[in-house]
Amino acid sequence: MKQTAPQTIPVATAISAENSQASGTTFHLPEEPLVVIQPSSKWNLINLKDIWAYRELLFFLTWRDVKVRYKQTLLGAAWAILQPLFMMIIFTIFFGRLAGVDSHGIPYPVFALAGLVPWTFFSNTITASGNSLVGSAHLITKVYFPRLIVPAAAMTAGFVDFALAFVLLVVMMIYYRVPVTAQVLFLPVLVLLTALFGLGVGTWMSALNVKYRDVRFALPFLIQLWLFVSSVILPSSAIPAKYRWVLLFNPMSGIIEGYRSALFGLPFDWPAIGVATILTIVMLFYSVYSFGKAERSFADII
Amino acid sequence: MRPIIRVEGLSKLYYLGGSGAAYSTLRETVMEVARKPLRYIRGVGNNSQILWALKDVSFDVMPGDVVGIIGRNGAGKSTLLKVLSRIVEPTAGRVELYGRVASLLEVGTGFHPELTGRENIYLNGSILGMTRREIEIKFDEIVAFAEVEKFIDTPVKRYSSGMYVRLAFAVAAHLEPEILVVDEVLAVGDASFQKKCLGRMRDVASMGRTVIFVSHNMAAVSSLCSKAMVLWQGQVEYPLGSVEGAVQQYLTQVHKITKMKLAERTDRQGNGRVRIEDFATFDSQGNELEYLATGQEIDFRIYYSSKENNVQNVSVAIGITSNSGSFVSMLSNQVAGDTFESIAHDGYFTCKIKKLPLMPGNYTAGLIIRSNDVILDWIQQAVTIVVEPGDFYGTGRMPPASHSGVLLEQEWTLNGAAS
């Protein structure tokens, strides 16, 4: 909480004229209040300076989430790898072998894993962020900090799992001798997109969850349905060209196809990635707006 | 000199949940919307369910002031602290803060049982607004203050409750904001630790920082604060001024409310299945008493009424506190005997005290009735009990009034009497 005061003046000098008995402490009373508390106006919703001032809290909450998760569970960090690994095995058996999905000549297990790793990151992010505010009720009712940090920390904590799962993906690519091209350099952009889109949806859900506890039950169901339209199991090319435009409304489809293009050197679907980027930005703005609106009453409702 | 905190016309309105819980489910909202047109036509508003937790509160605090905020439960003290700490937003009014604020509404906010003491210091410190640098610098001091050196790398779930509280307070005690907002955290820990906490707060104050302190404990407010203010139903009843004046005002207020008929009191909690109707004291001959005497045999009677005929497993308690707000004794059938198996529509509970051990003075008693540990009715500061001097020891002598407290049965012998 390092808030710098604009133009501070020493109290001692300011009051010396009227009160000679000033205490010896050198404390500077600023001209302008550091904080003004009043009913917030409609448009002054998110205070970025405030969030920046609390950036260390974001780090500590992330660190706590990761640490506690790995301390409490028997398998600890292994869960980050097991989840996509088992999904990959099941998908390979049912879709790769039985249904014979065309995976652009890439071995199906690697193809599926390249979709599952970002998908798991995304779905974990929206689940964790979505439940984060309600789960942090004891903090929210006791101490002030920018509330947006709570869903954001849930996302960054999930990023650690993502990094671990990515190691598995690299191992699998080496095992199946999938060649890597220069396109892999585009990967960080896709990771950022995944994180931001997950943050957007998760933040929105977390605010909704405070008001409507239905979200907790609806979310897992929504995620299951979402998986099937996100090009994780099938490439988007498996969908008839006539209907393929529908997938544009789901940024995750474009993003996941983007991962495959970057990793396997396949051609990028730029329109899909472009639309996904625009939708991600729209989602972020909308969720921050609706979060800010809800933020005012969190402590009253929770 | 300019104020460091300026509060102007602060108000906070709460809508008391008409539909039970404050949060809702989609179904309820859908139902609500469907019902609303109807309600609109009938012209039935929801206005009866509002509560002004704060109403037009204004005051200025000067740098270096230690301000005590006094008031009964529900007077708006906690709401005021929450607004000052930016946890809830005011409905109207404005607060200007000319310094960094740290608020301690509880100790150990965000402590995680799985994490070690060391890890929790960092986590809690950052939640309270300290930077990592600040925590690193103060780390050893915090550990020493909490006296947990040996267990610093043990998960706090293995700490005793005393150690836990000490560590939690230690982190909070090392905050160095210009304004410290504190809510009764001193009510935790053992006596020696409480002393340490009070000492620490005094240090903070003497460093020229501003402290806002809310408490029920008049003794703590008197010894710690330089100014005080009394809130009453969300409004300022005694404007920020002398501590003695504020404490006196508060005691008068408590006295006044305890004079009210219990049946008419609305400041009660519990589900209301059983209601406390009256409280009275009797001597051993059955004469009603207005004043009690030390050493006297007395019966406390709590009259109740119940809508049902067969409320089961009933426990009743009388909590006696001194004027300064500290707990003196708790009378409870659950502790001293057994719960009442079942009770009829109306009647009274009697608690017999063979020999009243209270020193002369004024006491306040809270009354609570529970069934299977669910609160049926609870009135805090329900009645005033006035105790007059009496002959406890049968010797005609009493300890000096300044040595207040309780009287204990005692026997003295001497080994080594001169023959």
3-state SS, residue A142: coil
User: What pLDDT, on a 0 to 100 scale, did the predictor assign at position A33?
Assistant: 85
B84/B68 Cα distance (integer angstroms):
14
Please indicate whether, in this complex, the C-beta atoms of B87 and A72 are within 8 angstroms of each other: no
A119/A124 Cα distance (integer angstroms):
8
Is the pLDDT assigned to residue A245 strictly greater than 90? no
Q: How confident is the model at residue A182 (pLDDT cuts 50, 70, 90)?
A: very high
| Pairing between β-strand B298-306 and β-strand B361-371 as defined by DSSP bridges | unpaired
Please indicate whether, in this complex, the C-beta atoms of B87 and A141 are within 8 angstroms of each other: yes
Is the pLDDT assigned to residue B32 strictly greater than 70? no
Q: How confident is the model at residue B46 (pLDDT cuts 50, 70, 90)?
A: very low
Q: Poorest-confidence range of A217-226, A250-259, B20-29, B266-275?
A: B20-29
Residues of A in contact with B110 (CB under 8 A): 138-139, 143
A210 interfacial to chain B (CB closer than 8 Å)? yes
**A 68-97 → B contacts, CB under 8 A:** 68, 71-72
Q: How confident is the model at residue A79 (pLDDT cuts 50, 70, 90)?
A: confident
Whether A171 contacts A190, CB under 8 Å:
no
The arithmetic mean of pLDDT across residues A56-64, rounded, is: 93
User: Which chain A residue lies closest to B87 (C-alpha atoms)?
Assistant: A144
The DSSP H or E segment spanning B327 is: strand B327-332
- Sign of the C-alpha dihedral, residues B154, B158, B163, B167? positive
Residue type, A33: P
Class of domain B268-388: mainly beta
Distances (CA, A) of B338 to A5, B51, B373: 62, 39, 13
Q: Count of CB contacts below 8 A, A vs B?
A: 140
Which of B7, B96, B184 should one mutate to test binding to chain A, selecting the residue with the greatest count of A CBs within 10 A? B96
The arithmetic mean of pLDDT across residues B306-329, rounded, is: 87
User: What pLDDT, on a 0 to 100 scale, did the predictor assign at position A22?
Assistant: 38
What average pLDDT does the structure give for chain B? 85
Please indicate whether, in this complex, the C-beta atoms of A213 and B23 are within 8 angstroms of each other: yes
The complex's ipTM?
A: 0.80
Q: DSSP state, A265?
A: T
User: What pLDDT, on a 0 to 100 scale, did the predictor assign at position B30?
Assistant: 65
B100/A139 Cα distance (integer angstroms):
19
Q: How confident is the model at residue A183 (pLDDT cuts 50, 70, 90)?
A: very high
Residues of A in contact with B17 (CB under 8 A): none
User: What pLDDT, on a 0 to 100 scale, did the predictor assign at position B337?
Assistant: 86
User: What pLDDT, on a 0 to 100 scale, did the predictor assign at position B187?
Assistant: 56
User: Which chain B residue lies closest to A298 (C-alpha atoms)?
Assistant: B88
Is the pLDDT assigned to residue B48 strictly greater than 60? no
3-state secondary structure B92-119: EEEEEECCCEEEECCCCCCCCCCCEHHH
Which of B83, B107, B114, B153 should one mutate to test binding to chain A, selecting the residue with the greatest count of A CBs within 10 A? B114
Superfamily of domain B5-9+55-256: P-loop containing nucleotide triphosphate hydrolases (3.40.50.300)
Minimum distance, in Å, between the CA of residue B254 and any CA atom of chain A: 28
Q: Poorest-confidence range of A77-91, A262-276, B196-210?
A: B196-210
A56/A23 Cα distance (integer angstroms):
34
Residues of B in contact with A15 (CB under 8 A): 1-2
Which of B81, B88, B181 should one mutate to test binding to chain A, selecting the residue with the greatest count of A CBs within 10 A? B88
The arithmetic mean of pLDDT across residues A74-101, rounded, is: 84
What average pLDDT does the structure give for chain A? 84
User: Which chain A residue lies closest to B109 (C-alpha atoms)?
Assistant: A139
The arithmetic mean of pLDDT across residues B347-362, rounded, is: 91
Residues of B in contact with A30 (CB under 8 A): 98-99
Is the pLDDT assigned to residue B5 strictly greater than 80? yes
A225/A221 Cα distance (integer angstroms):
6
A104 interfacial to chain B (CB closer than 8 Å)? no
**Partner residue opposite A211 with nearest CB, options B4, B14, B24:** B24
A301 interfacial to chain B (CB closer than 8 Å)? yes
Whether B14 contacts B53, CB under 8 Å:
yes
E strands, B2-141, are 5-15, 50-61, 66-70, 92-97, 101-104
Whether B324 contacts B70, CB under 8 Å:
no
Q: How confident is the model at residue B17 (pLDDT cuts 50, 70, 90)?
A: low
Q: pLDDT digit string (tens) for B126-138?
A: 998 888 999 999 9
User: What pLDDT, on a 0 to 100 scale, did the predictor assign at position A9?
Assistant: 34
User: What pLDDT, on a 0 to 100 scale, did the predictor assign at position B252?
Assistant: 87
User: What pLDDT, on a 0 to 100 scale, did the predictor assign at position B11?
Assistant: 94
φ, ψ for residue A227, nearest 5 deg: -55, -40
Residues of A in contact with B127 (CB under 8 A): 57, 60, 139, 143, 145
Give me the DSSP letters along A66-127. HHHHHHHSSSTTHHHHHHHHHHHHHHIIIIIIIS----TTS-HHHHHHHHHHHHHHHHHHHH
Q: Poorest-confidence range of A77-81, A165-169, B351-355?
A: A77-81
Give me the percent of chain A exceeding a pLDDT of 90.
46
Please indicate whether, in this complex, the C-beta atoms of B1 and A23 are within 8 angstroms of each other: no
Paired with B179 in beta bridges are B101, B210
Which residue has better confidence, B73 or B164? B164
A205 interfacial to chain B (CB closer than 8 Å)? no
Minimum distance, in Å, between the CA of residue B281 and any CA atom of chain A: 42
What size, in residues, is chain A? 302
**Partner residue opposite B126 with nearest CB, options A36, A60, A212:** A60
User: What pLDDT, on a 0 to 100 scale, did the predictor assign at position B18?
Assistant: 45
Residues of B in contact with A142 (CB under 8 A): 87, 105-106, 109
User: What pLDDT, on a 0 to 100 scale, did the predictor assign at position B19?
Assistant: 41
Minimum distance, in Å, between the CA of residue A16 and any CA atom of chain B: 9
Give me the DSSP letters along A187-213. HHHHHHHHHHHHHHHHHHHHHHHHHBT
Minimum distance, in Å, between the CA of residue A300 and any CA atom of chain B: 7
Please indicate whether, in this complex, the C-beta atoms of B100 and A30 are within 8 angstroms of each other: no
User: What pLDDT, on a 0 to 100 scale, did the predictor assign at position A247?
Assistant: 84
Neighbours of B19 (CB within 10 A): 12
Please indicate whether, in this complex, the C-beta atoms of A300 and B14 are within 8 angstroms of each other: yes
Q: How confident is the model at residue A20 (pLDDT cuts 50, 70, 90)?
A: very low
| Alpha helices by DSSP H, A212-242 | 215-228
User: What pLDDT, on a 0 to 100 scale, did the predictor assign at position A5?
Assistant: 38
The arithmetic mean of pLDDT across residues A2-12, rounded, is: 36
Please indicate whether, in this complex, the C-beta atoms of A212 and B128 are within 8 angstroms of each other: no
Whether A14 contacts A28, CB under 8 Å:
no
Which of B24, B83, B89, B111 should one mutate to test binding to chain A, selecting the residue with the greatest count of A CBs within 10 A? B89
User: What pLDDT, on a 0 to 100 scale, did the predictor assign at position A176?
Assistant: 92
A30 interfacial to chain B (CB closer than 8 Å)? yes
E strands, B176-291, are 179-183, 210-214, 227-232, 235-241, 268-269, 274-283, 288-289
Please indicate whether, in this complex, the C-beta atoms of A56 and B115 are within 8 angstroms of each other: no
Which residue has better confidence, B70 or B18? B70
